[in-house]
Structure 1
Amino acid sequence: MKRIILQLTLCLFARMAFAQGTLQGSVHDEKNEPLIGATVYIEASGTGAVTDRLGQYSIAPLHAGRHAVRVSYIGYETQRSSVVIADKQTTRFNVSLAMGNGVQLADITVTGGVERPLNTLSQVDIRLRPVNTAQDILRMVPGLFIAQHAGGGKAEQVFIRGFDADHGTDINIEVDGMPVNMVSHAHGQGYADLHFLIPELVSHVDFDKGPYFADKGDFTTGGYVDFQTRNKLERNFARLEGGSFGAGRAVAGVNVLNRQRSSAYIASEFSRTNGFFENSQHFRRFNVQGKFNTQLNEDTQLSLGLSVFDSQWDASGQIPERAVSRGIITRFGSLDPTEGGETGRINVNLKASHTLRNGATLENQVYAFRYRFNLFSNFTFYLNHPDTGDQIQQQEHRWVYGYRTRYSHTSTLGNLRLQTEGGVGFRYDVIDNIALSNTTLRVFVSDLKRGDIREGNAHAYWSETLWLAPKFSVNAAVRFDYFHFAYTDRLSVTQPESKGQGIVSPKLNFNYQPTESVNLFVRTGTGFHSNDAHVVVEQLASETLPRAYGIDIGADIKVTPLLLVHTALWRLDLDQEFVYVGDEAVVEPSGKTKREGIDLSVRYQLAPWLFADADVNVTHPRAKGAAEGENYIPLAPTVTSIGGLSVRRTRGFNGSLRYRYLGDRPANETNTVVATGYFIADAILNFTRPGYEFGVSAENIFNMKWNEAQFDTESRLLNEAAPVSEIHFTPGTPFAVKVRFTKYF
């Protein structure tokens, strides 16, 4: 035994004695914009790195001498170079990639680390799939479905990994590092409305699933989606769209400053539609979004983002099946045509990035946004108020203030590569006049709840990734979050006491890359989703920050240069499931749950201009502690799939034919009520020239009858003798066509 230890020690010192250095740099496009997710690969050693949010990378240690380096990014020409690494020094190697002749899957390199190739492929998906709003880009995440059920202005319902995540309870969503999820929201915990984001300004989408990422906190149980907006526009543009049901949209973006060290643009969007319902939606949305970037010096960059958003709409709500079967209304009718709402958001986001002398990066971010929300709904019709009806109003006004700092550095530990990342931050929500009220025809009747919330969240995390071998790495990380909840009840003299609680979330992840085409991974970790402040302070909830426990075992495999496959077996256990009861303004606990599943994603390039893709996700969600047959999780998806064929050319005709499939799923705990699944297909066709583009898109091209959102709800119709519990639904869009014209200048 002593001899073995001596040999290992001598071997280690021998390896440390070799001359070695570090390769660092950045990858940009021809306009000096950073390319996020570009791959820098050392061909001889089979090691590499992926560029971060600033387009920077670092690889260490490397033996001193000449190395062949390959730099690639989807849609850009791969660059091969020779770089000389000096002993005990850092060699800078900056790369500028030129746009290629089109998207080529051969440009994708499978690398070990948390950056999976499918995250890079999301950029391909954005270009090849029809997108109406920023919410639609969420569908780029394999296995994620969305549903709109209260007019075009309300945040969509989200389904992912066996979760009915309501409007964001189990998925963390950010834009340029600024949170989208709303804690203790008037309409549901984690409410995430992305409609303030103009989709043409999205440059990159980072996503992943599970609670394995130390820089992601609250709501990161099912996964996260992080949108990055453009630093500058590739070209000025103006776009007009029009289509079925009175749909119209105008959007334009202009670079107002375009210098070597500074740039700025402004974009604006106006959308309207009557919708396909008999009760016109009268939907209106207005967005203005701008961004300023400057290079203060060689090491410091500054970015300022501003945006304003406003939206109003009417809604037909969720209708009971019996109202349609009895002929009281049609599928597109309404029992309360005065549903609807309005919302708005103003964002300010300031970020500074600095490169330190040791090559590390330090990022600081300060953000603030003003948000308002006002929604009228009627879920039960005449159940509680037989004469005047059960319409309710949910409203709130809030300011959110936040700060984040992030430190990252790649170094060596002996002869081993070490990547360090850490950060701290806080978020403070000032929520005034958050209320639930009884209304009739949008006229106030009485308050059920009304008050003010002050909720703070401070966090800190540390993450270390150690390459024990050039192809094998271990990541260990820990995150700490502390929450403080305070609620002032405007309807009561006696006030509940505030409450605070902290939670520690450890992570441990492994990556092994046996070949350039195969990456194997095991991910483990815990996360959490926070409870609503009303419940925490009024009901003294025992599960303030219920924990989630996850494990993923999977692989990314480039079967051929033109065929990429991702697969994972996973399990996720929750200490407490939350169900939001909107008409009572409470979040009800529903016990412990477990979800097991398999994810499969395939991307295949059939020809230089023809792509096929498919995502299949199978999940087995169950409640713990309940009897067999009574342990189903209502509305949890079990089988989902999306896919299609896409034609991509730099000029001329391009487009796609796509499908979405959501299988039948239980609507209650006993599976005696079923939410019917659907299969629908969409198509898009564009004709592109350097200065302009024509396009036409069609939704539900086979005109299938489908339900976009479904709930098992107890309700009573006017003059109905007794309430009935059954499926209430919002119909999905029938066949619809939209045409558009874009001018580039």
Structure 2
Amino acid sequence: MKKYLLSLLFLLVSLSVFAHLGNISGVVYDQSTNLPLKGVNVQLTNQGKATVSNDLGQYRFEDLVASKYKIELSHVSFSAEIIEITVVDNQTSFVKTSLSNANIELSEVVISSGRAHDQQLISSMDIKLRPITNSQEILRMVPGLFIGQHAGGGKAEQIFLRGFDLDHGTDIRLTVDGMPVNMVSHAHGQGYADLHFVIPELVKGVDFKKGPYNAEKGNFTTAGWVDFRTKDALDHSFVKLEAGQYDSYRAVAGIDLLGQRGRDKNQSAYIASEYSFTNSYFDNPQHFNRLNIVGKYHGHIGANTNLTLTGSTFYSKWNHSGQIPDRAYESGQIGFFGSIDPSEGGETSRTNFNAQFVTVTSNNFVIKNQAFYSNYNFELYSNFTFFLKDSINGDQIRQKEKRNLYGYNGSISKETYLGKTRWTTTLGAQFRHDLTNGTELSHTKDRSLTLERYQLGDVNELNAGLYADELVQVTDQFTVNAGVRIDYFHNQYKDLLAQPVNTKHASDAIVSPKLNFYYTFNPRLQLYLNSGKGFHSNDTRVVVPQGGKQILPGAYGSDLGIILKPFPKMLINAAAWYLWLQQEFVYVGDAGVIEPSGKSKRQGIDVSVRYQLTNILYADVDISSAKPRAIGEAAGMNYLPLAPLFSSTGGLSLQMKNGINGSLRYRYMANRPANEDNSIVAKGYVVNDLQLNYTKTKYNLGLSVQNILNTKWKETQFATESRLKNETAPVEEIHFTPGTPFFARLSWTLFF
């Protein structure tokens, strides 16, 4: 009886305590735009409680004892804020905070268990401080990622990351505001990802993660993923004019359509446009033209619902000098910036519509819906082998396609507490449907005469995916993330060259589990273990003829890493990683296509260091090493061509209160095998760039210099067998595209 009375007394006391608990509900805004600010770290001082603001800038703490609390809010490139609030029994205390833009202070960066799965991001401040000529170059800010252009600036760049020659996107997933950039079963190669439709001045930030560890990310997420986020609002309208060497000109303008009237209603709308022209540094003038137009609306359509509408169109046309064989340059037949086939070039366009809805219900469910559409056109003329196949007309090829892309992304998530354990549950669905018309590979001459069609057909490819993700903050230090996704593919190819014309189908599905652990010892130290399975889909034109075999080869990876702040103004992120692929891709230079090959493995170490030397001077360095190998091949014959072995980037960034800011950068790529037995080597390089700005309230003056030491370097290199006009036998050796020489540009920007 006594034990029963004690239990009853304990229960009554417990109920009494819980009956007198209160809550804190808050929302964070960007002071310059008065729009909600996502991803803000929010901590209750000395309480061991932390969270992150959602898409509507909202956060919440529940079951708090009545008392006074201090709330610390921090976000990269914003001033940190500390506010006090009193929690009252049985009530929810509401707080509204605005954060202002500020110089980056590494001392304010907190290693948070509340956002353990999302520690790596690139802020708009990084983008402003580094020399960038187009949005594709923003990719270079991802630690360890290198790009190389080999078609005059109009073609998507070649990408390298974590021991991968990713070609134009075979094993990295690229998105813009959640809309896919990679093109499946593309005329030039699987996963082709052209980011040139993005205006760099409109990029707000870039989220990224290496490895296949996020359940939300599907196809191509093996080496990692990168998501560009464009601005929801302009701080002010602007006009920017640039002029540089080699007949290079660029004009950009962005007009704020709603102004303060819109900000007062938490709404924004703008229109922006970009035009670029250059003849570039090649002996053969490039006549490069690019036009971008974009419009965006963002605002509340309900008390807890945001709507974002984006429309854009892009067009580009250019000539390019192609790849140069070493022997042609070394013999003096052509100059370093010359060409064998000066008629190479291309034309491409893309028009996008993107609608995003975010709703937070009264029960704190976050519901996201996104629908998108792209109309895409591509035509490229290349000549990789010159006169190897056709000694009279040459080997020029045309790759061409017209595409419509439809898609949907949706998710629902809920954050709940069971005791002190915080659970964030997310369920999502994704869909994309690609329809191409006349995907073509043809033998051509002088970009005008079609000699023979090698391939001509229509691709119909559907990808539907479901995923579930659970992020559990077990204690104040320990976080577990588990997820799984299921993807279904249906591939159809209509061969227009077959007699009679025939249509074949193939389909397959793949399950990709993820499991990640994070232990945050304190705001200065976190250990993590990531593991997961990802995949890249194979080209419809490859899998359909072979009866649907190897449509979705898997990739299995793991990262063991540490995030460390040994000093208040130093941040270190290091990881040892391993990745195994069920199937590799091989680039076939003489045909200009991608072919599937065998298994491969990669392992390596990544190290990133950020150090604030003074209040105005920042240093950074990224080092990546990798050992990529083909599995099942004899030792010495198992190298993966062009896969990077060692690379490093870094530099100094300056931000002075008088408006002077800029950066001095370097990037280094070591020698690497160009073929399977390493008998042909792609030479490494070191290149330095400079960006210097003078920024005032109403204007900005800028100087950008690429390759300030005028280094002679080879930006892209391939081991290719080719034959020149007067040669009797083919030769296999390095074929390269020369890198940018000293290239200076001046810019003037007016804000109004």
SS of match in other structure, 1:317: coil
Bigger mean CA deviation after superposition, 580-589 or 328-337 = 580-589
Separation in structure 2 between the aligned mates of residue 25 and residue 619 of structure 1, nearest angstrom: 45
The residue correspondences of 1:200-211 to structure 2 (distance < 5 A) are 200-211=201-212
Tell me which residue corresponds to 2:80: 78
Deviation, 1:487, is 0.4
Residue 423, structure 1, aligned to residue 423, structure 2: no
Give the TM-score of the pair, scaled to structure 1. Answer: 0.95
Tell me which residue corresponds to 1:659: 666
Deviation, 1:49, is 2.1
- Conserved in 1, the CA contact under 8 Å of 2:420 and 2:474? no
Separation in structure 2 between the aligned mates of residue 641 and residue 654 of structure 1, nearest angstrom: 23
Please point out which of 707, 715, 728 is paired with 1:721: 728
How far does the alpha carbon of each residue in 1:298-348 deviate from its partner, in whole angstroms, 9 at most, with x for none? 111111101010000000000100111111111111000000000000000
Please point out which of 608, 619, 623 is paired with 2:615: 608
**Gaps in structure 1 of 5+ consecutive residues:** 1-9
- Conserved in 2, the CA contact under 8 Å of 1:110 and 1:117? no
Separation in structure 2 between the aligned mates of residue 744 and residue 323 of structure 1, nearest angstrom: 49
The residue correspondences of 1:21-420 to structure 2 (distance < 5 A) are 23-30=24-31, 31-59=33-61, 65-85=67-87, 92-100=94-102, 102-112=103-113, 119-258=120-259, 259=262, 260-261=264-265, 262-420=267-425
- Conserved in 2, the CA contact under 8 Å of 1:268 and 1:287? yes
SS of match in other structure, 1:632: coil
How far does the alpha carbon of each residue in 1:186-208 deviate from its partner, in whole angstroms, 9 at most, with x for none? 00100000000000001121111
Tell me which residue corresponds to 2:574: 567
Tell me which residue corresponds to 2:461: 455
Residue 534, structure 1, aligned to residue 541, structure 2: yes
- Conserved in 2, the CA contact under 8 Å of 1:61 and 1:412? no
Tell me which residue corresponds to 1:5: none
Deviation, 1:582, is 6.2
- Conserved in 2, the CA contact under 8 Å of 1:117 and 1:556? no
Separation in structure 2 between the aligned mates of residue 526 and residue 598 of structure 1, nearest angstrom: 19
Tell me which residue corresponds to 1:6: none
Residue correspondences, number:
735
Deviation, 1:115, is 5.2
Deviation, 1:73, is 1.7
- Conserved in 1, the CA contact under 8 Å of 2:169 and 2:193? yes
Note closer, same or farther for the CA distance 1:59–1:662 as it changes in structure 2 (3 Å cut): farther
Deviation, 1:183, is 0.3
Tell me which residue corresponds to 2:7: none
Note closer, same or farther for the CA distance 1:14–1:614 as it changes in structure 2 (3 Å cut): farther
How far does the alpha carbon of each residue in 1:41-78 deviate from its partner, in whole angstroms, 9 at most, with x for none? 12213332233444334456655643321001223221
Separation in structure 1 between the aligned mates of residue 350 and residue 469 of structure 2, nearest angstrom: 33
- Conserved in 2, the CA contact under 8 Å of 1:496 and 1:538? no
**What is the identity, as a one-letter code, of the residue corresponding to 1:151?**
G
SS of match in other structure, 1:211: coil
**What is the identity, as a one-letter code, of the residue corresponding to 1:683?**
L
**What is the identity, as a one-letter code, of the residue corresponding to 1:275?**
S
Note closer, same or farther for the CA distance 1:380–1:14 as it changes in structure 2 (3 Å cut): farther
How far does the alpha carbon of each residue in 1:135-188 deviate from its partner, in whole angstroms, 9 at most, with x for none? 011111000000000111000000011110000111111111100000000001
How far does the alpha carbon of each residue in 1:658-716 deviate from its partner, in whole angstroms, 9 at most, with x for none? 10001111101111110001001111111111111111111111111100000000000
Separation in structure 1 between the aligned mates of residue 318 and residue 445 of structure 2, nearest angstrom: 17
Residue 683, structure 1, aligned to residue 685, structure 2: no
Separation in structure 1 between the aligned mates of residue 92 and residue 190 of structure 2, nearest angstrom: 47
Note closer, same or farther for the CA distance 1:254–1:321 as it changes in structure 2 (3 Å cut): same
How far does the alpha carbon of each residue in 1:506-548 deviate from its partner, in whole angstroms, 9 at most, with x for none? 0011111111111111111100000000001012352111101
Residue 577, structure 1, aligned to residue 584, structure 2: yes
Note closer, same or farther for the CA distance 1:88–1:142 as it changes in structure 2 (3 Å cut): farther
Residue 522, structure 1, aligned to residue 529, structure 2: yes
- Conserved in 2, the CA contact under 8 Å of 1:667 and 1:674? yes
Note closer, same or farther for the CA distance 1:349–1:14 as it changes in structure 2 (3 Å cut): same
Runs of 4+ in 1 over 6 A off after TM superposition: 13-17
- Conserved in 2, the CA contact under 8 Å of 1:419 and 1:466? yes
Deviation, 1:585, is 6.4
Bigger mean CA deviation after superposition, 67-76 or 56-65 = 56-65
**What is the identity, as a one-letter code, of the residue corresponding to 1:356?**
T
RMSD: 2.1
Percent identity of equivalent pairs: 49
Note closer, same or farther for the CA distance 1:535–1:15 as it changes in structure 2 (3 Å cut): farther
The residue correspondences of 1:587-666 to structure 2 (distance < 5 A) are 587-666=594-673
SS of match in other structure, 1:576: coil
**What is the identity, as a one-letter code, of the residue corresponding to 2:140?**
R
Separation in structure 1 between the aligned mates of residue 504 and residue 702 of structure 2, nearest angstrom: 57
- Conserved in 2, the CA contact under 8 Å of 1:378 and 1:391? yes
Separation in structure 2 between the aligned mates of residue 266 and residue 470 of structure 1, nearest angstrom: 44
Note closer, same or farther for the CA distance 1:22–1:414 as it changes in structure 2 (3 Å cut): same
Note closer, same or farther for the CA distance 1:622–1:236 as it changes in structure 2 (3 Å cut): same
- Conserved in 2, the CA contact under 8 Å of 1:487 and 1:537? yes
Note closer, same or farther for the CA distance 1:88–1:427 as it changes in structure 2 (3 Å cut): farther
Deviation, 1:417, is 0.9
Please point out which of 481, 492, 497 is paired with 1:475: 481
Deviation, 1:294, is 2.3
Tell me which residue corresponds to 2:452: 446
Give the TM-score of the pair, scaled to structure 2. Answer: 0.94
SS of match in other structure, 2:120: helix
SS of match in other structure, 1:279: coil
Deviation, 1:457, is 0.5
Bigger mean CA deviation after superposition, 46-55 or 535-544 = 46-55
How far does the alpha carbon of each residue in 1:72-107 deviate from its partner, in whole angstroms, 9 at most, with x for none? 12232211122345667765443211233x221122
Separation in structure 1 between the aligned mates of residue 171 and residue 21 of structure 2, nearest angstrom: 45
Tell me which residue corresponds to 2:5: none
